[in-house]
Amino acid sequence: MGVYLSTPKTEKFSEDGENDRLKFGLSSMQGWRATMEDAHAAFPDLDASTSFFGVYDGHGGKVVAKFCAKYLHQQVLKQETYLAGDIGTSVQKSFFRMDEMMRGQRGWRELAVLGDKINKFTGMIEGLIWSPRGSEKNDQIDDWAFEEGPHSDFAGPTSGSTACVAIIRENQLVVANAGDSRCVISRNGQAYNLSRDHKPDLEVERDRIFKAGGFIHAGRVNGSLNLARAIGDMEFKQNKFLPAEKQIVTASPDINIVELCDDDQFIVLACDGIWDCMSSQQLVDFIHEHLKSESKLSAVCEKVFDRCLAPTAGGEGCDNMTMILVQFKKITPSSSSSNDKSSTSKDIRIDSEPAVAET
| Residue closest to 326 by CA, chosen among 13, 6, 14, 17 | 17
If you average pLDDT over residues 210-230, what whole number do you get? 96
- The SS3 assignment for 135 reads coil
Apex CA 278: angle with CA 183 and CA 44, to 5°? Answer: 30
DSSP state of 57: E
| Phi, then psi, of 78 in degrees rounded to 5 | -85, -15
Q: Model pTM?
A: 0.88
Domains recognised in the chain with CATH numbers:
4-101+158-334 (3.60.40.10)
Residue 143, pLDDT score: 72
Least confident of 6-20, 52-66, 125-139: 125-139
What average pLDDT does range 188-214 have in this prediction? Answer: 97
Q: Give the pLDDT of residue 334.
A: 53
Cα 266 from Cα 273, distance rounded (Å): 20
pLDDT at 354: 45
**Going by C-beta distance under 8 Å and a sequence separation of 6 or more, which residues neighbour residue 48?**
none
Span 74-102, average pLDDT? 96
Averaged pLDDT for residues 234-244: 96
